[in-house]
Chains A and B, each alone.
Chain A
Amino acid sequence: DAMVIQNPRYQVTQFGKPVTLSCSQTLNHNVMYWYQQKSSQAPKLLFHYYDKDFNNEADTPDNFQSRRPNTSFCFLDIRSPGLGDAAMYLCATSSGTGVATDTQYFGPGTRLTVL
């Protein structure tokens, strides 16, 4: 089945120690998104790629970076994780053809714990 895969599902890191979360997709979608979701809160868009075009949300901290080396893979790098960065990180994709009407397809998420 075509899908969105996130690894690892659980990640524990230490305060200030860089961490990378990965996402891959077999849907061949143009758009890939990264969301941060804290407990009992809405998923919050951090950034997205349309193909190789990177789009950062204005309120995404500089501590968060992303890379998309090819269509299938996208990475979220947290350069110096703080305690406030503990959250579920969701990757999603969409075809990009409908733009605002696109359905997003989500991965299972990576739960990040910062010690």
Chain B
Amino acid sequence: AQSVSQHNHHVILSEAASLELGCNYSYGGTVNLFWYVQYPGQHLQLLLKYFSGDPLVKGIKGFEAEFIKSKFSFNLRKPSVQWSDTAEYFCAVNANTGGFKTIFGAGTRLFVKA
């Protein structure tokens, strides 16, 4: 069965620090990969996604993620975080054979200190 692992449940950073959130998935075939974000008091929304082409994907608010097929990973990065990046981040995977089923990770809560 497919699964998604997010390595850190909680991350605390100071403003201007660099961010990398880990995401690994288990599925051997072609996958589509997503990062969703939930800001405090708001609903889940798409940050970025990868389904083909350049494995380095750029999203909103300066976020990027790199798909490394050999490592089954899709880590999220931002060179310099801001207080407003405080949120919960969810990695998600949809196998091309999975129809509309998307598997989510358990999320990483990021707190950025001003």
Take A40-B9, A42-B4 as given contacts and tell me if A107 and B104 are in contact as well, using a CB distance cutoff of 8 Å: no
B49 pairs with A103, CB closer than 8 A: yes
Interface residues of B in 96-111 (CB under 8 A from A): 96, 98-107
How many A-B residue pairs have C-beta atoms within 8 angstroms? Tell me: 63
Interface residues of A in 84-111 (CB under 8 A from B): 90, 92, 94, 96, 99-109
B44, B101, B107: the one within 8 Å of A106 (CB): B44
A45 pairs with B102, CB closer than 8 A: yes
Q: Number of contacting residues on B, CB 8 A? A: 26
Q: Does B87 interact with chain A (Cβ within 8 Å)? A: no
- Find chain B residues with CB under 8 A from A55 CB: 99-100
**How big is the A interface, by class?**
20 to 34
Whole-angstrom CA separation of A55 from B98 in the bound complex: 12
B105 pairs with A99, CB closer than 8 A: no
Whole-angstrom CA separation of A44 from B107 in the bound complex: 12
User: B residues touching A (Cβ–Cβ < 8 Å)?
Assistant: 4, 9, 32, 34, 36, 42-46, 49, 51, 90, 94-96, 98-107
User: A residues touching B (Cβ–Cβ < 8 Å)?
Assistant: 4, 31, 33, 35, 40-45, 48, 50, 55, 57, 90, 92, 94, 96, 99-109
